[in-house]
Amino acid sequence: MRRWRLAAGVAVAIAAASVATVIAQPANAETAAFTVTGSWSNGYQGQVEVRNNTSSTINTWRVQLTLPAGTTIVNSWSATQSASGSTWTFTPAGWNGTLAAGASTSFGFIASGTGRPTSCSVNGASCDGSSGPTTPPVTTPPTTPPTTPPTGTTPVAQNGQLRVCGVKLCNAAGKAIQLRGMSTHGLQWFADCYNDASLDALADDWKADLLRVSMYVQEGGYETNPAGFTAQVNNLVEEATQRGLYSIIDFHTLTPGDPNYNLARAKTFFAEVSARHASKNNVIYEIANEPNGVSWAGIKSYAEQVIPVIRANDPDAVVIVGSRGWSSLGVSEGATSSEITANPVNASNIMYAFHFYAASHKDNYRAEVQRAAASLPLFVTEFGTVTYTGGGQVDLASTATWLDLLDRLQIGYANWTYSDADESSAAFRPGTCGGPTYAGTGVLTESGTYLRSRIRTADNF
């Protein structure tokens, strides 16, 4: 562990996830500690705590780190970054610039290369109080065993076991990635859409990264036949695995909107599927599709009871938690993502769901995603090119704006739906499912044609 003495009443710490030892100091002293939160063969993750130890409010902050040759910052979260040569400057993300007396905030980063910072300054002053930037003493931080990046041609072969690093989804080598794919419709209605030919088309023709398996709980779904629907989900996960696709297991709660109504069912279901797939590296668990009419506190309570059930069997898998207002980060119910950042789910390796329908949800929703992505790991587990009803005219202009934003922020997504439902959000023309042909554009709707073209673009794995 490294400690720096700081000037200007602001302390900066790059601290490990484990509890750091801090030596008691007078109330007006400034201290900081340096470690990394994780490392691998060709990079590491750091977290920076900015602390105001003065007796008055500060309105902004600026942290500058100089890195040795061969080491760069790949991405950061909860801060705005810029670089000049080997010096990286971090300023507030917007929401975390003002710090009251005694308050703190934090941001993190992923470094490519193994070099640790050679100097640090905060608000123009050196970290040890001298006239120039601090040079940290050289110590060896805790490390994790080096990870050899997977090789292969499928998404899973290329990326391996995923994990959340800061606000990004990262692969086994620690690289931030974006997954793109499709969501099934309700299995009780469109099971014939998910066969060898259609799943081959998704993997090989669409070149998708993931299949979201959408299992309704009500509306003729899981509650009517738990064993049967669990078997359907398991079979589709196996099909995705055979094709090298990631699979999101979606516990598709919608009505009633309070996920606690289905708490017992969720515990039973996720205990079974996580035990079945614990040895796989391609399964992601989405524990509540679209909470609505329920407080964030209620959603958080549900998540903190269901996640341990999954972790008991599958400790490494990413878990996605639904957000308030039909997974709109609260926007559709007059709230914002700040309720999540102020009271996040008490669990690691999790992301938060966001859903949109391009013809209904536009600039104010996009602005909230932009803001939330600075501090929360997000995954768009469902979106449509049409209105929130699943029908209406396809809005390609709004869809393109949305997907450009998600691409820029490296937020993964699954489109609703990979089905031939008689609605404009469906990818296939009515009557396609059950037939022999799924590849190419001849069987696709306007929405399907556009999504196929977006998903087929090269991944940056």
List all residues 6 or more positions away from 250 whose beta carbon is below 8 Å from its beta carbon.
183, 212, 213, 214, 215, 286, 289, 381
pLDDT per position as a tens digit, 303-348: 999 999 999 999 999 999 999 999 999 999 999 999 999 999 999 9
Please tell me which residue, 138 or 269, carries the higher pLDDT value.
269
Q: For the segment 54-84, what is each residue's pLDDT rounded down to a tens digit?
A: 888 888 888 888 889 988 887 666 678 888 8
Domain boundaries, the chain: 2-126, 155-455
| 382 catalytic residue (yes or no) | yes
Which is the catalytic residue, given 239, 286, 290, 368? 290
If pLDDT is split at 50, 70 and 90, which confidence band does 380 have? very high
List phi, psi (to 5°) of 437. Answer: -115, 130
Q: CA-to-CA distance for 343 and 303, rounded, in angstroms?
A: 13
CATH number, span 155-455: 3.20.20.80
- Integer angstrom CA distances of residue 116 from 35, 44, 222: 9, 9, 51
| pLDDT in the model for residue 24 | 32
> Average pLDDT for residues 288-298, to the nearest whole number?
98
**Does residue 432 have a pLDDT over 90?**
yes
**Residues contacting residue 237 through CB under 8 Å, at least 6 positions apart:** 213, 247, 249, 273, 276, 277, 280, 283
Neighbours of 431 (CB within 10 A): 10
Look-up: residue for tokens 């929703």?
A: 365
Whether pTM > 0.85 for this model: the answer is no
**In the CATH scheme, what is the code of domain 2-126?**
2.60.40.290
pLDDT tier, 140 (very low <50, low <70, confident <90, very high otherwise): very low
Q: Contact 420/433 with Cβ under 8 angstroms?
A: yes
The tokens describing 438, both together, are: 């799924």
Q: Among residues 30, 272, 368, 382, which one is catalytic? A: 382
Q: Is 30 an active-site residue? A: no
Q: Do 39 and 141 touch, CB atoms closer than 8 A?
A: yes
pLDDT digits (tens, 9 = 90+) for 230-277: 999 999 999 999 999 999 999 999 999 999 999 999 999 999 999 999
Interval 164-173: pLDDT, tens: 999 999 999 9
